[in-house]
Structure 1
């Protein structure tokens, strides 16, 4: 069984920064915003197109 492909985009990077900052400052709002940004990045159509292109050009193991 194959696992899901994860492609990190710019929103995931910003989300990770917000999540880390939220944990350091003990702000659940910042941490929640970071988590939402990471999840949103994976659902964007651009991320899906990038995943499809990577699947086409990646060697199949």
Structure 2
């Protein structure tokens, strides 16, 4: 995971979880799977597979409003 993070210059928290954690998030069927969590700790959005930066930015901007 570390080489990918460095190669893609990821500047946000990346978590690699266990099967138990995966199930709490509704299961992870593909990698990468990105969960954007709101301030209350709820899943605000889920992105499966590679996504453009703009997809994440739009979700995060909406949460910050």
Q: TM-score, normalised by structure 2?
A: 0.28
- Structure with more of its chain in helix, by fraction: 1
Q: Which has the higher contact order (CA 8 A, sep 6+)?
A: 1
- Structure with more of its chain in strand, by fraction: 2
The structure that has the greater radius of gyration is 1
